[in-house]
Amino acid sequence: MNVVNHPIRRSFVFFLVPDFTMIAFATALDPLRSANRMLGYEAYRWRLASIDGKPVRASNGVECAVNTSLEDERKKMSGPERPNMAVVCSGINVERYQNKSAFAWLREEYNRGVAVGGLCTGAHILAAAGLLSNKRCAIHWENLPGFSEAFPKANVFADLFEIDQNIYTCAGGTAALDMMLKLIGDDFDESLVNRVCEQVLTDRVRSPTDRQRLPLRARLGVQNSKVLTIIELMEANLSEPLSLIEIADHVDLSRRQIERLFRTEMGRSPARYYLEIRLDRARHLLIQSSLPVVEVAVACGFVSASHFSKCYRELYARSPQQERVDRKQLLVA
């Protein structure tokens, strides 16, 4: 009887960072298991790693055991167990993660021809390791403002996932499923992808450029197309806010018409709404980055730190400085 030896298509190391997002990890890993089951052999192989080989707690509180430490992974680099791909699994509080050993390991893997990936906020760690300069990448929408300010050389997009040569990044959540299905399709064919989709009860592979967030119409409950266009203009121009006259020229309405529309649809003036979305971005930057308050103010279109602080306190009932202090105390607790 002839025994067919099927080749391993890819081997993975999933590197777990404290507070990693479980849903992104699970939806990246399980399509590989399903593909193996559909194929009837082990086309994909994986192991889990942490800094010290000890279990890692996810953001939902579940501890995940691992197979190796980074010291073990370094020993495997030059042997038959070297992976085809090293994937960073992270989540909340990624801005606090500073581990030179992990950064060095990722660079070593990449320089040896190993593909590297990041799930959810993993792009932040890849960028901190110096791997995303002039590279396209994706990160969770909530972390995008802070990431853009911290790593201006990275070409970050609010896409579901990005593949730039040997670098794979996705925005987390179920976007990890889409990225892995794309990878499986590249390795095999659409037939296998469809069979895996049936197993995991999804009807399609979303495009990399599909929206991370709900469309504005659904997110805000607004139907008026002019208002939606104006809000999109505002969100695209936060660091250098447009004047109401400039907005009016873009949408071919008068200032009075825009004021009336916003009062009706949004329950506030356009100026107030614009201010609120700029302050919302500022809050994300304060929480997710170490930028000085004055730089956060400039990044969100404020002419002075004092004006920024006054507006911030009026909306959130605390100063930007207190926002940071409260955040640090929450993280320590």
- Rounded to whole angstroms, the Cα distance separating 94 from 123 reads 10
pLDDT tens digits, one per residue of 164-202: 999 999 999 999 999 999 999 999 999 999 999 999 988
- Rounded to whole angstroms, the Cα distance separating 4 from 22 reads 36
Q: State the pLDDT at residue 306.
A: 94
Which CATH code fits 216-330? 1.10.10.60
Question: Please, are residues 83 and 13 in contact by the beta-carbon 8 Å criterion?
Answer: yes
Sequence spans of domains, the chain = 10-200, 216-330
Q: What is the mean pLDDT of residues 102-106?
A: 97
Mark 138-177 as b/e (b = at least 16 C-beta within 10 Å): bbbebbbbbbebbbeebebbebbbbbeeebbbbbbbbbbb
Q: 79: how many CB neighbours lie within 10 A of its CB?
A: 7
Question: Please, are residues 311 and 279 in contact by the beta-carbon 8 Å criterion?
Answer: yes
For residues 42 and 1, which has the higher predicted lDDT (pLDDT)?
Answer: 42
Assigned fold of 10-200: Rossmann fold (3.40.50)
Q: State the pLDDT at residue 333.
A: 47
Q: State the pLDDT at residue 332.
A: 47
Q: State the pLDDT at residue 329.
A: 58
Q: What is the mean pLDDT of residues 247-266?
A: 94
- Rounded to whole angstroms, the Cα distance separating 139 from 162 reads 9
